[in-house]
Copies of this chain bind each other. A is one copy, B any other.
Amino acid sequence: MTTASPPSPAKPSFKVRMMQAREDAIIASVNRLLAEKGFEAMTVDEVAAEVGIAKASLYKHFASKEELACAAMVAAMRRAQDFIAQQPPQASPLDKLRATTRWTMALKLQGQMPSLPSQNSSLRATLMSSREYMDGLMEVSDVLGGWIEEAQARGQLNATLAPIVVLYTLFARACDPVLEFLRMGGQHSDEQILDMVMSTCFEGLCAR
């Protein structure tokens, strides 16, 4: 790495910033397509067309379709980490869990939540071998897991449930088909839909 450029925290060159911006545009498109139709149904041609560049150019940025999707998943994970980190420390753990869950569902409703690959998708292996993705997933799990145990200790969450079950249940809200079903019905606003699904998730279906 011996170049003529100035030492470490240097302003990125115009060229580098252009490339970064293009990669961001690519990832945004991939993110949207992943949310709309899933990894298998998404084609690299579509991505290239939507971004407005040649397919061969895409492959200069990402080595494969799996890497492409993985980059989008990593970016999504980072957004989740950012949101979680911004939660006010004085808020109750349950409030933080509720806010995070609602945020993921809002993303899903807006068609911006990339859907997880099914069991034996080729993407699964790539994700699991991605340091960035797995690290992000683990940090998110750790933080949410901590909030869950705290909320159980305070009697806010059902303490008879294994924390892992609560964690998975909240994760699953990010791909809950109920959201799109209700939106297709056209009877409710997005906010109403979020309120209703939040209620079924935390309060349950049975009367209280």
| Chain A residues within 8 Å of B, Cβ to Cβ | 36-38, 40-41, 94, 115-116, 118-121, 152, 155-159, 161-162, 164-166, 168-172, 175-178, 180-182, 185, 187, 196-197, 199-208
**CA–CA, A202 and B205, complex, Å:** 5
- By Cβ-Cβ distance, the 3 closest A-B pairs, closest first, are A204-B204, A40-B40, A203-B204
Number of copies of this protein chain within its complex? 2
**CA–CA, A161 and B12, complex, Å:** 53
**CA–CA, A116 and B208, complex, Å:** 32
Known contacts A152-B207, A158-B205, A165-B182; 4 additional CB pairs below 8 A are A36-B118, A38-B118, A40-B41, A115-B118
User: CB distance B169 to A178 under 8 Å?
Assistant: yes
Instruction: Name A41's closest neighbour in chain B (CB-CB).
Output: B40
Candidates B159, B175, B196, B207; contact of A162 at CB < 8 Å: B196
B residues in contact with A175, CB < 8 Å: 177
Output the least CB separation between A151 and chain B (Å).
Answer: 9
Instruction: Name A193's closest neighbour in chain B (CB-CB).
Output: B165
